[in-house]
Amino acid sequence: MALTPEQIEYLHSTGQMPDWVYYQQNGRSLQENYNEIKRKNSERTRRQIEERRKREAETAALEAEIEKKAEEAIEKALEELLKDFGK
């Protein structure tokens, strides 16, 4: 049974296929496989960093919005209290 390239990659990346079988199956040299693995790892790391930065930016924006609304609510409550005492 012939495996698709995706199946070969999956089996190798999950540790279910030894390196020597992987190299025979995909027809690339050891250096080519190494370069491909390094490229994929770099891309994955870059995506993770971008996603983390995006989440941090969204969190910061949300926190700023919450703080702004809280300040407005406090100011409004204080103004109402001052009006009540001013009567």
pLDDT digits (tens, 9 = 90+) for 51-80: 999 999 999 999 999 999 999 999 999 999
pLDDT digits (tens, 9 = 90+) for 3-55: 888 888 888 889 898 877 877 777 777 788 788 889 999 999 999 999 999 99
Structure tokens belonging to residue 33: 């496989």
Structure tokens belonging to residue 40: 């994929």
Neighbours of 12 (CB within 10 A): 19
Residue 1 pLDDT > 70 = no
Q: Is 75 helix (H, G, I), strand (E, B) or coil?
A: helix
User: 8, 26 in Cβ contact below 8 A?
Assistant: yes
Q: What is d(CA 61, CA 47) in angstroms, rounded to the nearest whole number?
A: 21
Question: Phi-psi category of 18—alpha, beta or left, where left has phi over 0 and alpha has psi -120 to 50?
Answer: beta
- pTM (2 decimals)? 0.55
Q: What is the pLDDT of residue 18?
A: 84
